[in-house]
Structure 1
Amino acid sequence: MAEDPIAQGEAAALTRRFEETAQKNDREFGIVKSDLTALRLQVGNLDQKLGNFIEETRELRQEMNRNQAQIIELLSSLVGKSPDAS
């Protein structure tokens, strides 16, 4: 039985479209994968910066607490003293 040339042409066109779409999908997947990798690096960098910020904030809070304690200690030692006394 002879092959139908119209059916062969349609099959070839469908195959071509399928392969073109598959290539396009592969390229787009590669772009998305690359973007995702870049995003992961940025998130990691932000996570590190946030960790550093939290540590610096904790250290600053401790220093403020020490300074506040020193101020309270100094003010407490002045309570009841004459302002003219040295």
Structure 2
Amino acid sequence: MPDEPAQSEIRTLTRRFKQAQERTDREFGIVKSDLTALRLQVDNLDQKVSNLGSKVDELADEMRGLSEKVDRNQAQIVQLLSALVGKSPDAS
């Protein structure tokens, strides 16, 4: 008994639907995998930014220390030069 055209059309549509569903499932899996990788990268980047922030704080502290040391040295140089004012350069 030959298939009715409606039965043939239903089988064709069903096959197309299943193929589209399989393709959608594969594409969804790819998107999900990419999203997971992106989340890991964002977490890694967030951690690096956090570490960078603490390094910047350390450098700022070091710069403050150096600035204070330079200020002390400059004050000492000014005191020494002031003590030498009026003295002969050849005198010890």
TM-score range, shorter chain: 0.7 to 0.9
Structure-1 residue corresponding to 2:71 = 72
Q: Give the Cα separation in 1 of the matches to 2:38 and 2:79.
A: 63
Q: Give the Cα separation in 2 of the matches to 1:66 and 1:23.
A: 65
Q: Which consecutive residues of structure 2, in runs of 5 or more, have no partner in the other structure?
A: 85-91
The 3 A distance-change label for structure 1 pair 36 and 46 is same
How well do the aligned residues superpose, as a CA RMSD in angstroms? Answer: 2.0
Structure-1 residue corresponding to 2:18 = 19
Whichever residue aligns with residue 50 of structure 1, its letter is V
Highest CA radius of gyration, 1 or 2?
2
Structure-1 residue corresponding to 2:53 = 54
Whether 2:44 is the aligned partner of 1:45: answer: yes
Whichever residue aligns with residue 27 of structure 2, its letter is E
Runs of 4+ in 1 over 2 A off after TM superposition: 80-86
Q: Give the Cα separation in 2 of the matches to 1:40 and 1:17.
A: 34
- Listed one character per residue, the Cα deviations across residues 13-32 of structure 1 (whole Å, up to 9, x for unaligned) are 00110011011100110010
Q: Give the Cα separation in 2 of the matches to 1:84 and 1:73.
A: 17
Structure-2 residue corresponding to 1:9 = 8
Structure-1 residue corresponding to 2:27 = 28
**Percent identity of the aligned residues?**
47
Per the TM alignment, residue 6 of structure 1 is displaced from its structure 2 partner at its CA by 0.3
Whichever residue aligns with residue 26 of structure 1, its letter is D
How many residues were matched structurally? 83
